[in-house]
Every structure is written in structure tokens, then in C-alpha cells.
Amino acid sequence: QKQRLLIKGGRVVNDDQSVEADVYVEEGVVQEVGPNLNPRPPSGLTVLDATNKLVIPGGIDTHTHLQFPFMGTTSKDDFYTGTKAAVAGGTTMIIDFAIPQKGCSLIEAFDTWKSWADPKVCCDYALHVAVTWWSDEVKEEMKTLVDVKGVNSFKMFMAYKDLYMLSDEELYSAFSYCKELGTIAQVHAENGELIAQNAKKLLAMGITGPEGHALSHSEDVEAEATHRAIAIANTVNCPLFVVHVMSKSSARMITNARNEGKVVYGEPIAAGLGIDGTNYWNEDWAHAAAHVMSPPLSPDPSTPDFLMNLLANDDLSVVGTDNCTFDTCQKALGKDDFTKIPNGLNGVEDRMSVVWEKGVYSGKMDENRFVAVTSTNAAKIFNLYPKKGRIAVGSDADIVIWDPEATRTISAKTHHQANNFNVFEGMVCHGVPVTTISRGKVVYHDGDFNVTAGQGKYVSRPPFPPYVYERVKQRQEVCKPVPVKREPYAGVVSATPESE
């Protein structure tokens, strides 16, 4: 028996238009979108009522770290609890990061992460791969990852000195090769050397608590690296995706570069749009430590609004989460030294509601822009579109029935994530996912789950078709230097300068 689903009476919202329409799904794929659909036969058909609701493409979280071995421990949410929480929040696809140690195989990292994810995921997923060192073997492996493993994005770190950080020379080589492969370069933009020096000074001053994390990762640290990454990427004409954009200065660098025609995308994260870094000065150590991530949340309380305005404007492009959860006892690895607090916080479950509340309900963006920044733009940038990121005939039936008026209060007491803290605790959000559908299967409805570990699929992402590089190529033409025509120099040719 074929799996058949009809979503009736809602408003179908894509990034470019909204229409009152029903959606008919067979075997996980959208078959028809239109008014008053009546698929035959009526028997064996699941009908979902979407009256007064929005029918939106399932969210795509461009940035998660599930069961990530990092800073002496492993992030708490694994590929099961993490993706289960995702679907409860209206997200139907995540893109995680396979991250090799320096000197280790990228392909092995990819295979390892995939072997962790495959038996556990409750929704579709893909993997970015990090380039943490540079050599001819790394180049070969990158090519194999693109040709055989469906990877079209590589993350480079400018921070985590001695662990993942690359030099400018290595960044130059990696970005150049990303361009050659038709992939996008992602960058963690923080100056790792400045962080190390700042931290040393602060610890010597007796500042050992989480506020030291914020002070050592100053706004300059992120701004400088963002500017440097843009300069390097632009020098080799590689499209650039700046992950977890947290500060005003960094966001301004990206905005300026885009206005100059450079091909740069910025990814704010749910936490950065919802809360601020004043939390690092909270007198409760566990509360302050729970917010430690890199780059840090901005200590300026007006930053979340500032970032949301840029997101609404298309100066910033997509919202991820950097979901990388650690519970209080894991955070306590750094109780005497803020540099040892595992970096990361939650978001995968709450991203959609936080963006609706702070972006749409606040009047900064409309429902179409909401879909663009939570789903469609991610699908376009990472070459998943229109299979993902759109409700249209032939697209995967990753769909959410969204109640724009209902509210929910975020709390660690009721969330589905594995850790014991939620950085959005107490936030009341308009915009609630009522039903989440993954490849045509209802996986979440009104608080009830129908998920099986491993039901999600790995989604291959081919390198970009040439048209995506149109803007990059145009820039290359405009910027191409030509030699000045001049007579050959006929003066002194001696290699040894005359002595006086």
C-alpha cells in the first residue's frame, strides 16, 4: 500500500509567494499543490487539517554538532535526541560537521560521523567536512569527498589554536581548492592567536570565570578574522560562508563585502538572535557557563535586534544553531579555568520559534522571508534546492504545519534535548509547529512523536552547477589585471649594484 497524505485548507508559504492550497503527497514526494484537491481513491489517505495554519517547507539547520567529541568530552545530544528535538521544533534536515584531528584523514572522519548518524537520525541530514590541516593528501581527499561522498562545503577554522586552526597560507590554499572543486568555503572567523594571548592575560589577572571567555573573545577577535577571511576568499574568488556570525562588527564586514559585490553569506544562529552575552556575568556559575560558545554571544544587548534586521534585509542569509550541548557537569570541566569550559549551547529545537517570535512577530520580516532564512536559502546555498527548501511538485515532502498565533514557553523542563539547560529558558514564542512531516511521514504532531532511529537519510550534495558561479566569474573578469604596455627596460642590467 502506497503512503498517501493530504494537507487540507492551509496557506502554502514558499520564499517567494504564499497561496491558499492543499498539498498532496505520495511516497514521500509532493505530487500536487492546488485548491480543493480530491485525490482518488479516498481510502488509505491520511488527511491533515491545516485551516488557519501555514504549510511551510521543513526547516534546515545548517549548523549542528551532535555527539561531537570536543574539549575533553562529547556533546550531549546525539544524532537521535538531536534530530528528535529538531522535528519537534519544525526542522526536518540538519547539516552536521565531520571534523578530523590535524594529520588525520578527512574521509575517515566523514565515514565515522556517517556511521554515528545513520543508525540514529530521525530526519534527513548531510555533513560538512572540516579542513583542519593542509597537504596534498588533504587535497586528494577533498576531491574524493566531492566526487564520491556528496560533500560540497568545507569548514576552515581560524581559531582553536593548535587544535583546528589554519594559517593564512593554509586558508589561501584551502579556499583556492574549494573554488576549483565548485564547493563553498565555510569559515569559523575568530583570531585564534589573539584569543590565546587575551586568555593568558585574563587568567593571570585572576579572572577564571565564564566572563573571561567573553572578554578574551572580544569583538575585535571576530571582526578581524571575518575581514581577513573575506579578503582571502575574494583574492582567490571563492564563495564564502561565514558560520555563527555573533557580533555587530562581523555582520557589518559581511554587509560591506556584499555591497561591494563579493560573494559572501553570513549565518547568524538562533542563540545570537534570541539572547545576549550579559549572561556571562550572571552570578550563578552554571548559568554563565551554559552560555559559553565561540564566538561568544555579544555582551551588547542591542546585538540580537541588529542581527535580525540584517537577516531581514538579506545582508545575512540563513539561520543555523551551532547546536552543541553540554550539561552542567560537562561544563564543570572548566570550573577553575574558563578556557576549559566545553564550547557550545542548544538551539536545534527552538530555532524556528525564536526566528518567528523575534523576526516575524516583531514585524521585522514577513512569512516568506521567514521561510527563506530558515529553509530555502540553506537549500540553495548548499545545492539541495528544490528537492529541499520548497513545497512544489517533485520536492521531498519535508513539510511543517505551522500555527503562527499559538505560543509556547521554552523550558529545559519540557524540551526534548538531552541536556539540562536551555539558553532560551522562559522565552514565550509565537509560532508553533503543530505537525512535522519528514519525507511524507508524520513524525511529530501536537507533542506526540512517531520517529524511528535511523529513518532519516543521508542527502548527497553535488558541487555547484556553473550558473551558481556566474557572480564569482563576473567578478573575476572585472578584477582581472592586464599588463601595462611599455617599452622593454633598456637601462642597467647588472645584477650587482654599483658601489659608491
**Which residues lie near ligand URP (CB under 6 A)?**
65, 188, 244, 293-294, 322, 324, 343-344
Q: Which of 329, 337, 407, 476 binds Zn ion (CB under 5 A)?
A: 329
Stretch that binds Zn ion, among 37-45, 225-233, 275-283, 319-327 (CB under 5 A): 319-327
Question: Which one, 12 or 151, has the nearer CB to ligand URP?
Answer: 151
| Partner that binds at residue 329, options ligand URP, Zn ion, none, CB closer than 5 to 8 Å by kind | Zn ion
| Partner that binds at residue 327, options ligand URP, Zn ion, none, CB closer than 5 to 8 Å by kind | Zn ion
Bridge pairing between strands 18-26 and 124-131: unpaired
Does residue 262 interact with Zn ion by CB under 5 A?
no
Question: Which one, 21 or 264, has the nearer CB to Zn ion?
Answer: 264
Q: Which of 26, 49, 305, 327 binds Zn ion (CB under 5 A)?
A: 327
Please give the Cα distance from 29 to 36 (Å, whole number): 19
Does residue 479 interact with Zn ion by CB under 5 A?
no
Bridge pairing between strands 54-57 and 4-13: parallel
Q: With CB under 5 A, what is the number of residues at the site for Zn ion?
A: 4
Cβ at position 74, least distance to Zn ion in Å: 11
For 392, the grid coordinates are 512544489
**Identity (one letter) of the amino acid at 309?**
N
Cβ at position 190, least distance to ligand URP in Å: 9
Cβ at position 130, least distance to ligand URP in Å: 9
Cβ at position 75, least distance to ligand URP in Å: 8
| Partner that binds at residue 293, options ligand URP, Zn ion, none, CB closer than 5 to 8 Å by kind | ligand URP
Cβ at position 376, least distance to ligand URP in Å: 23
Nearest residue to ligand URP, by Cβ distance, number only: 343
Cβ at position 322, least distance to ligand URP in Å: 5
Cβ at position 113, least distance to Zn ion in Å: 13
348 and 89 Cβ atoms separated by less than 8 Å? yes
Question: Which one, 339 or 376, has the nearer CB to ligand URP?
Answer: 339
Question: Which one, 322 or 357, has the nearer CB to Zn ion?
Answer: 322
Question: Which one, 15 or 190, has the nearer CB to ligand URP?
Answer: 190
Question: Which one, 97 or 134, has the nearer CB to ligand URP?
Answer: 97
Question: Which one, 322 or 349, has the nearer CB to Zn ion?
Answer: 322
211 and 281 Cβ atoms separated by less than 8 Å? yes
Question: Which one, 65 or 408, has the nearer CB to ligand URP?
Answer: 65
Cβ at position 296, least distance to ligand URP in Å: 8
Cβ at position 73, least distance to ligand URP in Å: 12
Does residue 224 interact with Zn ion by CB under 5 A?
no
Please give the Cα distance from 310 to 358 (Å, whole number): 13
Question: Which one, 91 or 376, has the nearer CB to ligand URP?
Answer: 91
Cβ at position 160, least distance to ligand URP in Å: 7
Question: Which one, 57 or 266, has the nearer CB to Zn ion?
Answer: 266
149 and 141 Cβ atoms separated by less than 8 Å? no
| Partner that binds at residue 205, options ligand URP, Zn ion, none, CB closer than 5 to 8 Å by kind | none
Question: Which one, 7 or 289, has the nearer CB to Zn ion?
Answer: 289
Cβ at position 137, least distance to Zn ion in Å: 24
Stretch that binds Zn ion, among 300-308, 312-320, 328-336, 405-413 (CB under 5 A): 328-336
Closest Cα partner for 451 from 61, 125, 127, 120?
Answer: 120
HEC profile of the chain: CCCEEEEEEEEEECCCCEEEEEEEEECCEEEEEECCCCCCCCCCEEEEECCCCEEEECEEEEEECCCCEECCEECCCCHHHHHHHHHHCCEEEEEEEECCCCCCCHHHHHHHHHHHHCCCCCCEEEEEEEECCCCHHHHHHHHHHHHHHCCCEEEEECCCCCCCECCHHHHHHHHHHHHHHCCEEEEECCCHHHHHHHHHHHHHCCCCCCHHHHHHCCHHHHHHHHHHHHHHHHHCCCCEEECCCCCHHHHHHHHHHHHCCCCEEECCEHHHHHCCHHHHHCCCHHHHHHCCCCCCCCCCCCHHHHHHHHHHCCCCCCCECCECCCCHHHHHHHCCCHHHCCCCECCCCCHHHHHHHHHHHCCCCCHHHHHHHHHHHHHHHCCCCCCCCCCCCCCECCEEEEEEEEEEECCCCCCCCCCCCCCCCCCEEEEEEEEEEECCEEEEECCEECCCCCCCCECCCCCCCHHHHHHHHHHHHHHCCCCCCCCCCCCCCCCCCCCC
Q: Which of 128, 149, 188, 291 binds Zn ion (CB under 5 A)?
A: 188
Neighbour tally for 252: CB within 10 Å = 16
For 111, the grid coordinates are 565515514
Cβ at position 371, least distance to ligand URP in Å: 25
Does residue 61 interact with Zn ion by CB under 5 A?
no
| Partner that binds at residue 344, options Zn ion, ligand URP, none, CB closer than 5 to 8 Å by kind | ligand URP
Question: Which one, 22 or 78, has the nearer CB to ligand URP?
Answer: 78
Residues binding Zn ion (CB under 5 A): 188, 322, 327, 329
